[in-house]
Amino acid sequence: MLELGKMSAGEVPVLRDGEPVARLRSTDFWQEGSVAVVGEREWVLGRRRGGALVGRWAADPEDAARYRAEQVSAWRGTWRADLDGVVVDVAPASLWRGTYRFTAGDVTVAESGSTGSWSPRPTLTGGQDLALDAQVFLLWLVLVLQRRTYGAAIGAAVAGGAAAGSS
């Protein structure tokens, strides 16, 4: 299982069984940009025009995308990710808990969860067939989706409070 550790010096470690296997560093909060370092490889993660979330090696051209996730249905909250040729469907496993299930065909390749209570951090349990780089990308995708959901909930609460206060 992968999980996000606690932030230190602007970076968040990605842990497997308590040991760091990668690091995430936010580069642009509004564009959902991050840099992930997995082993010796640096990944640039971010949002493109049109809403696709992409991952490319830092050495790749700016328009390259080795990993790509696009929303299929806003109503259902489903996404489709292309992990360097492996297509994975992303669907909410539990709206209440904010968890996701990742399937390739009929096979579940990963599931997200969370750890911690006051400030929960996403986790990802992936199968052996899924490369560590791909698992880190999916963990980042879950983080982005959870931030969006949290931001929408805060916005709705503020709007509701403003409407109630103006009556």
More confident residue, 156 or 34: 34
Percentage of the chain modeled with pLDDT above 70: 87
Q: Is the pLDDT of residue 2 over 80?
A: yes
Could you tell me which residue, 155 or 59, shows the higher pLDDT? Answer: 59
pLDDT at position 134: 98
Domain carrying residue 119: 2-165
The total number of structural domains in the chain stands at 1
Q: What does the pLDDT look like over 121-132, one tens digit per residue? A: 899 999 888 999
Q: How far apart are CA 138 and CA 31, in angstroms?
A: 17
Half-sphere exposure (CA, 13 Å, Cβ side) for 76? 10
Which amino acid makes up residue 139? L
Residue type, 132: L
Angstrom distance (rounded) from CA 115 to CA 124: 10
Going by pLDDT thresholds of 50, 70 and 90, the confidence category of residue 98 is confident
Residues with Cβ < 8 Å from 97, sequence gap 6 or more? 113, 114
pLDDT tens digit sequence for 61-86: 999 999 999 999 999 999 999 999 99
